[in-house]
Protein backbone atom coordinates (compact mmCIF):
# COMPACT_ATOMS: atom_id res chain seq x y z
CA UNK A 1 0.00 0.00 0.00
CA UNK A 2 1.06 3.61 -0.45
CA UNK A 3 1.84 5.66 2.62
CA UNK A 4 1.76 9.44 2.96
CA UNK A 5 5.15 11.15 2.75
CA UNK A 6 4.53 12.60 6.21
CA UNK A 7 2.17 11.88 9.11
CA UNK A 8 1.38 14.80 11.37
CA UNK A 9 1.43 14.45 15.17
CA UNK A 10 -0.33 17.24 17.06
CA UNK A 11 0.82 18.28 20.55
CA UNK A 12 0.12 21.35 22.65
CA UNK A 13 3.72 22.00 23.71
CA UNK A 14 6.87 20.85 21.98
CA UNK A 15 10.39 19.98 23.08
CA UNK A 16 12.07 20.62 25.53
CA UNK A 17 8.90 19.90 27.50
CA UNK A 18 8.47 16.17 28.25
CA UNK A 19 5.22 16.34 26.23
CA UNK A 20 7.06 17.27 23.04
CA UNK A 21 9.97 14.96 23.76
CA UNK A 22 7.80 11.86 24.08
CA UNK A 23 6.02 12.68 20.80
CA UNK A 24 9.37 13.06 19.07
CA UNK A 25 10.56 9.77 20.57
CA UNK A 26 7.46 8.07 19.14
CA UNK A 27 8.28 9.40 15.66
CA UNK A 28 11.93 8.32 15.94
CA UNK A 29 11.15 4.75 17.00
CA UNK A 30 8.50 4.31 14.29
CA UNK A 31 10.86 5.61 11.63
CA UNK A 32 13.61 3.21 12.72
CA UNK A 33 11.40 0.16 13.02
CA UNK A 34 9.57 0.76 9.74
CA UNK A 35 12.84 1.21 7.89
CA UNK A 36 12.02 4.85 7.08
CA UNK A 37 8.69 3.92 5.52
CA UNK A 38 6.57 5.80 8.05
CA UNK A 39 7.60 9.43 8.61
CA UNK A 40 5.97 11.30 11.46
CA UNK A 41 6.49 14.97 12.32
CA UNK A 42 5.51 16.76 15.53
CA UNK A 43 3.44 19.96 15.18
CA UNK A 44 3.42 21.66 18.59
CA UNK A 45 1.22 24.54 19.71
CA UNK A 46 -1.90 22.74 18.42
CA UNK A 47 -0.99 24.54 15.21
CA UNK A 48 -2.83 21.93 13.14
CA UNK A 49 -6.11 23.17 14.63
CA UNK A 50 -5.39 26.88 14.59
CA UNK A 51 -4.05 26.81 18.14
CA UNK A 52 -7.31 25.60 19.69
CA UNK A 53 -6.31 22.38 21.41
CA UNK A 54 -9.89 21.52 22.31
CA UNK A 55 -10.53 20.94 18.58
CA UNK A 56 -7.71 18.38 18.34
CA UNK A 57 -9.81 15.29 18.96
CA UNK A 58 -12.51 16.23 16.44
CA UNK A 59 -9.88 17.04 13.82
CA UNK A 60 -8.25 13.65 14.38
CA UNK A 61 -11.59 11.91 14.01
CA UNK A 62 -12.08 13.69 10.69
CA UNK A 63 -8.63 12.72 9.49
CA UNK A 64 -7.42 16.34 9.39
CA UNK A 65 -4.79 15.35 11.97
CA UNK A 66 -3.16 11.93 11.56
CA UNK A 67 -1.96 11.44 15.11
CA UNK A 68 -1.75 13.20 18.42
CA UNK A 69 -0.24 13.03 21.85
CA UNK A 70 -3.12 14.74 23.54
CA UNK A 71 -4.20 15.87 26.98
CA UNK A 72 -7.18 14.33 28.76
CA UNK A 73 -8.26 17.84 29.75
CA UNK A 74 -8.27 19.08 26.16
CA UNK A 75 -10.14 16.04 24.88
CA UNK A 76 -12.81 16.03 27.58
CA UNK A 77 -15.26 18.14 25.52
CA UNK A 78 -15.45 15.21 23.08
CA UNK A 79 -14.93 12.36 25.56
CA UNK A 80 -16.80 13.23 28.75
CA UNK A 81 -15.29 10.21 30.58
CA UNK A 82 -11.86 11.88 30.42
CA UNK A 83 -13.08 14.27 33.10
CA UNK A 84 -12.24 11.38 35.42
CA UNK A 85 -8.68 12.67 35.70
CA UNK A 86 -9.92 16.15 36.60
CA UNK A 87 -11.87 14.89 39.62
CA UNK A 88 -10.25 16.76 42.49
CA UNK A 89 -7.94 14.70 44.71
CA UNK A 90 -8.75 11.35 43.11
CA UNK A 91 -5.09 10.48 42.62
CA UNK A 92 -2.85 11.07 45.65
CA UNK A 93 0.42 10.02 43.99
CA UNK A 94 2.08 8.79 40.80
CA UNK A 95 1.26 5.18 41.64
CA UNK A 96 -2.41 6.09 41.68
CA UNK A 97 -2.21 7.52 38.14
CA UNK A 98 -0.61 4.29 36.94
CA UNK A 99 -3.18 2.20 38.78
CA UNK A 100 -5.98 3.91 36.85
CA UNK A 101 -4.39 4.18 33.41
CA UNK A 102 -2.99 0.65 33.43
CA UNK A 103 -6.05 -0.85 35.16
CA UNK A 104 -9.63 -1.61 34.09
CA UNK A 105 -10.69 2.07 34.12
CA UNK A 106 -7.94 2.94 31.64
CA UNK A 107 -8.97 0.06 29.44
CA UNK A 108 -12.61 1.16 29.53
CA UNK A 109 -11.63 4.71 28.54
CA UNK A 110 -9.60 3.39 25.61
CA UNK A 111 -12.67 1.41 24.48
CA UNK A 112 -14.77 4.58 24.61
CA UNK A 113 -12.20 6.55 22.62
CA UNK A 114 -11.97 3.65 20.14
CA UNK A 115 -15.74 3.93 19.57
CA UNK A 116 -15.27 7.56 18.45
CA UNK A 117 -13.11 6.90 15.39
CA UNK A 118 -9.82 7.44 17.21
CA UNK A 119 -7.41 4.61 18.02
CA UNK A 120 -5.71 5.08 21.42
CA UNK A 121 -2.35 3.37 21.84
CA UNK A 122 -0.63 4.33 25.10
CA UNK A 123 -0.74 6.55 28.20
CA UNK A 124 1.87 9.28 28.57
CA UNK A 125 2.03 11.99 31.20
CA UNK A 126 1.90 15.74 31.59
CA UNK A 127 2.02 15.60 35.38
CA UNK A 128 0.21 16.80 38.49
CA UNK A 129 -1.10 20.33 38.30
CA UNK A 130 0.24 22.31 41.25
CA UNK A 131 -1.04 25.68 42.39
CA UNK A 132 1.03 28.84 42.72
CA UNK A 133 0.14 32.38 43.74
CA UNK A 134 1.68 35.74 44.57
CA UNK A 135 -0.04 36.34 47.91
CA UNK A 136 0.60 33.64 50.52
CA UNK A 137 1.50 30.05 51.29
CA UNK A 138 -1.54 27.82 50.79
CA UNK A 139 -1.84 25.11 53.44
CA UNK A 140 -5.60 24.87 53.92
CA UNK A 141 -8.65 25.69 51.80
CA UNK A 142 -9.22 28.96 53.71
CA UNK A 143 -5.89 30.23 52.37
CA UNK A 144 -7.39 30.23 48.86
CA UNK A 145 -10.30 32.42 49.85
CA UNK A 146 -10.69 35.38 47.49
CA UNK A 147 -7.60 34.56 45.43
CA UNK A 148 -8.09 35.12 41.73
CA UNK A 149 -6.79 31.96 40.07
CA UNK A 150 -6.38 31.52 36.33
CA UNK A 151 -7.60 28.03 35.38
CA UNK A 152 -7.95 26.09 32.16
CA UNK A 153 -11.41 26.31 30.69
CA UNK A 154 -13.64 23.52 31.93
CA UNK A 155 -16.78 23.60 34.01
CA UNK A 156 -15.31 21.06 36.44
CA UNK A 157 -12.30 23.31 37.19
CA UNK A 158 -14.55 26.28 37.67
CA UNK A 159 -16.66 24.42 40.19
CA UNK A 160 -13.66 22.98 42.02
CA UNK A 161 -12.10 26.38 42.63
CA UNK A 162 -15.41 27.97 43.51
CA UNK A 163 -15.92 25.22 46.12
CA UNK A 164 -12.52 26.07 47.59
CA UNK A 165 -13.56 29.71 47.99
CA UNK A 166 -11.22 30.96 45.27
CA UNK A 167 -12.27 33.19 42.37
CA UNK A 168 -11.50 31.18 39.22
CA UNK A 169 -10.79 33.19 36.09
CA UNK A 170 -10.56 31.72 32.64
CA UNK A 171 -8.13 33.32 30.23
CA UNK A 172 -5.81 32.24 27.46
CA UNK A 173 -2.20 31.56 28.44
CA UNK A 174 -1.16 34.57 26.36
CA UNK A 175 -3.40 36.81 28.48
CA UNK A 176 -2.46 35.02 31.69
CA UNK A 177 1.22 35.96 31.84
CA UNK A 178 0.72 39.75 31.72
CA UNK A 179 -2.28 39.36 34.03
CA UNK A 180 -0.05 37.59 36.56
CA UNK A 181 2.67 40.22 36.27
CA UNK A 182 0.26 43.10 36.85
CA UNK A 183 -1.65 41.32 39.60
CA UNK A 184 -4.93 41.19 37.68
CA UNK A 185 -4.93 37.54 38.72
CA UNK A 186 -3.14 36.20 41.79
CA UNK A 187 -2.34 32.64 40.84
CA UNK A 188 -2.40 29.78 38.36
CA UNK A 189 -2.25 26.00 38.27
CA UNK A 190 -0.03 23.99 35.94
CA UNK A 191 2.49 21.15 35.95
CA UNK A 192 5.78 22.27 37.49
CA UNK A 193 7.60 21.92 34.16
CA UNK A 194 5.47 24.83 32.89
CA UNK A 195 6.29 26.82 36.03
CA UNK A 196 10.03 26.53 35.46
CA UNK A 197 10.14 26.93 31.69
CA UNK A 198 7.76 29.94 31.73
CA UNK A 199 9.81 31.45 34.62
CA UNK A 200 6.68 32.20 36.61
CA UNK A 201 8.75 33.33 39.62
CA UNK A 202 9.56 36.45 37.59
CA UNK A 203 5.87 37.41 37.51
CA UNK A 204 5.51 37.28 41.27
CA UNK A 205 4.51 33.64 41.71
CA UNK A 206 6.42 33.09 44.95
CA UNK A 207 4.20 30.52 46.69
CA UNK A 208 3.83 27.01 45.30
CA UNK A 209 1.79 24.28 46.97
CA UNK A 210 2.31 20.64 46.00
CA UNK A 211 -1.28 19.55 46.42
CA UNK A 212 -1.62 17.25 43.42
CA UNK A 213 -5.32 17.95 43.02
CA UNK A 214 -5.51 16.63 39.46
CA UNK A 215 -3.09 14.96 37.07
CA UNK A 216 -3.16 15.06 33.32
CA UNK A 217 -2.21 11.79 31.63
CA UNK A 218 -1.53 12.15 27.92
CA UNK A 219 -2.87 9.78 25.29
CA UNK A 220 -0.98 8.59 22.19
CA UNK A 221 -3.58 8.12 19.47
CA UNK A 222 -4.05 7.70 15.73
CA UNK A 223 -7.00 8.79 13.61
CA UNK A 224 -9.11 5.74 12.72
CA UNK A 225 -9.31 6.50 8.96
CA UNK A 226 -5.51 6.81 8.94
CA UNK A 227 -5.01 3.76 11.14
CA UNK A 228 -6.97 1.60 8.70
CA UNK A 229 -4.51 2.40 5.91
CA UNK A 230 -1.62 0.73 7.77
CA UNK A 231 -0.81 -2.95 7.39
CA UNK A 232 -1.27 -5.05 10.56
CA UNK A 233 2.51 -5.27 10.90
CA UNK A 234 2.89 -1.50 10.74
CA UNK A 235 -0.01 -1.04 13.17
CA UNK A 236 1.96 -3.23 15.54
CA UNK A 237 5.05 -1.05 15.06
CA UNK A 238 3.05 2.11 15.80
CA UNK A 239 1.50 0.59 18.91
CA UNK A 240 4.73 -0.76 20.37
CA UNK A 241 6.58 2.44 19.63
CA UNK A 242 3.85 4.45 21.37
CA UNK A 243 4.10 2.24 24.45
CA UNK A 244 7.90 2.64 24.54
CA UNK A 245 7.76 6.40 23.98
CA UNK A 246 5.05 6.74 26.63
CA UNK A 247 7.17 4.86 29.14
CA UNK A 248 10.07 7.18 28.43
CA UNK A 249 7.69 10.17 28.64
CA UNK A 250 6.32 9.20 32.05
CA UNK A 251 9.89 8.82 33.29
CA UNK A 252 11.02 12.29 32.20
CA UNK A 253 7.75 13.93 33.31
CA UNK A 254 8.38 12.67 36.85
CA UNK A 255 12.07 13.47 36.89
CA UNK A 256 13.14 15.80 39.68
CA UNK A 257 9.77 16.19 41.38
CA UNK A 258 9.63 13.05 43.55
CA UNK A 259 10.74 12.58 47.15
CA UNK A 260 13.58 10.38 45.89
CA UNK A 261 14.78 12.93 43.34
CA UNK A 262 13.73 16.50 44.29
CA UNK A 263 16.21 18.30 42.00
CA UNK A 264 13.60 20.40 40.14
CA UNK A 265 11.92 21.33 43.43
CA UNK A 266 15.30 22.43 44.81
CA UNK A 267 15.89 24.47 41.69
CA UNK A 268 12.55 26.25 42.11
CA UNK A 269 13.23 26.94 45.78
CA UNK A 270 16.58 28.36 44.73
CA UNK A 271 14.65 31.08 42.86
CA UNK A 272 13.18 32.41 46.09
CA UNK A 273 9.94 30.48 45.83
CA UNK A 274 8.52 28.72 48.89
CA UNK A 275 7.25 25.22 48.18
CA UNK A 276 4.56 23.99 50.55
CA UNK A 277 4.21 20.22 50.81
CA UNK A 278 0.91 19.01 52.25
CA UNK A 279 0.68 16.24 54.82
CA UNK A 280 -1.97 13.59 54.13
CA UNK A 281 -4.19 15.27 56.80
CA UNK A 282 -3.82 18.68 55.20
CA UNK A 283 -4.69 17.20 51.83
CA UNK A 284 -7.83 15.63 53.34
CA UNK A 285 -9.13 19.11 54.20
CA UNK A 286 -8.98 20.10 50.52
CA UNK A 287 -10.57 16.80 49.59
CA UNK A 288 -13.44 17.41 52.01
CA UNK A 289 -14.03 20.95 50.68
CA UNK A 290 -14.35 19.68 47.10
CA UNK A 291 -16.39 16.59 47.96
CA UNK A 292 -19.73 17.99 46.65
CA UNK A 293 -18.13 18.78 43.29
CA UNK A 294 -16.55 15.34 43.21
CA UNK A 295 -19.87 13.61 43.89
CA UNK A 296 -21.77 15.66 41.34
CA UNK A 297 -19.23 14.93 38.62
CA UNK A 298 -18.87 11.30 39.60
CA UNK A 299 -22.48 10.84 38.53
CA UNK A 300 -21.97 12.85 35.40
CA UNK A 301 -18.84 10.99 34.29
CA UNK A 302 -20.37 7.62 35.10
CA UNK A 303 -20.45 6.18 38.64
CA UNK A 304 -19.26 2.76 37.48
CA UNK A 305 -16.14 4.08 35.83
CA UNK A 306 -15.24 6.32 38.77
CA UNK A 307 -15.84 3.54 41.31
CA UNK A 308 -13.62 1.28 39.25
CA UNK A 309 -10.89 3.94 39.31
CA UNK A 310 -11.30 4.46 43.05
CA UNK A 311 -10.88 0.71 43.59
CA UNK A 312 -7.70 0.64 41.54
CA UNK A 313 -6.32 3.59 43.52
CA UNK A 314 -7.17 1.93 46.86
CA UNK A 315 -5.50 -1.31 45.80
CA UNK A 316 -2.35 0.31 44.36
Partner 1 sequence: MITAALFLCFLLLFIAGTPVGVALGLAGCLAIFMADLGLMAAPTNAYTGIAKYPLLAVPMFVLVGAIFDRSGVALRLVNFTSAIVGRRAGSLAAVTVIVSMFLGGISGSGPANAAAVGGAMIGALSRAGYPRAFSASVIGAAAATDILIPPSIALIIYSVLVPQASVPALFAAGMIPGILAGIALIVPVLYVSKKNGFGLAEKDLPRPPFWKSFREAIWGLLAPVLILGGMRAGWFTPTEAAVMAVLYGLFVGFVIYRSLTLRDVYEMFVEAAEISGVILIVVALAAIFGWAGSTLGVFDHAANAIVATGGNQYVILTLLIIMLIVIGMFLDGVSTFLILLPLLMPIANKFGWDPVWFGVLLTLKIAIGQFTPPMAVNLMVSCRIAGVPMESTLRWVFPMIASMFVVLILMVIFPEIALWLPRVLGYL
Partner 2 sequence: MSNEPDPLLMNQEPPVRVPLTFERVVAALAMGALCLITLGNVFARYLTNYSFAFTEEFSIALMVVVTMLGASIATAADRNIRITWFANMLPPAGRRVAEVISSLAIITMFGLLVWLGGRLVWDEYRFEVTSPGLGEPQWVYTLALPLLAAAVIGRAIGHLVRVWRARKVPKHESVEPI
Contact residues for partner 1 (CB under 8 A)?
8, 43, 45, 47-52, 55, 58-59, 62-64, 171-172, 174-175, 177-179, 181-184, 203
Cβ proximity to partner 1, 4 vs 95, nearer residue? 4
Q: Shortest Cβ distance from residue 182 to partner 2 (Å)?
A: 13
Does residue 171 interact with partner 2 by CB under 8 A? yes
Whether the CA torsion 234, 240, 243, 246 is positive or negative: it is negative
Stretch that binds partner 2, among 39-47, 102-110, 169-177, 240-248 (CB under 8 A): 169-177
User: Minimum Å distance from CB 117 to partner 2?
Assistant: 9
Query: H/E element holding 218?
Result: strand 207-223
As to burial, measured by CB atoms within 10 angstroms (0-12 exposed, 13-18 middle, 19+ buried), residue 97 is buried
- Distance of alpha carbon 307 from alpha carbon 290, whole angstroms: 17
Rounded to the nearest whole angstrom, what is the least distance from the CB of residue 52 to partner 2 in the complex? 9
Q: Does 129 bind partner 2 (CB under 8 A)?
A: no
Q: Which helix (H) or strand (E) holds 196?
A: helix 192-197
- As a whole number of angstroms, the distance between CA 96 and CA 315 comes to 9
Q: Which helix (H) or strand (E) holds 108?
A: helix 104-114
Residue placing its CB nearer to partner 2 in the complex, 54 or 177: 54
Taking CB under 8 A as the binding criterion, the range among 104-112, 154-162, 193-201, 209-217 that sits at the site for partner 2 is 154-162
Out of 10, 54, 86, 209, which residue is the one contacting partner 2 (CB under 8 A)? 54
Radius of gyration of the chain (CA): 19
Amino acid sequence: QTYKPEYKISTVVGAPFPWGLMAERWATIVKDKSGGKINMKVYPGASLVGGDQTKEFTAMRQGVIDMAVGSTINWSPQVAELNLFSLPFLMPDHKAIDAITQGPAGKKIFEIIGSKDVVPLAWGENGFREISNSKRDVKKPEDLKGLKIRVVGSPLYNETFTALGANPTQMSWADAQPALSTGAVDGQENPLTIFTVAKLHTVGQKHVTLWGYVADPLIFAVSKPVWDTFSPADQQILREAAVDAAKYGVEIARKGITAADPSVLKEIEGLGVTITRLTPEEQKAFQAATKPVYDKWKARIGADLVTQAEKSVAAR
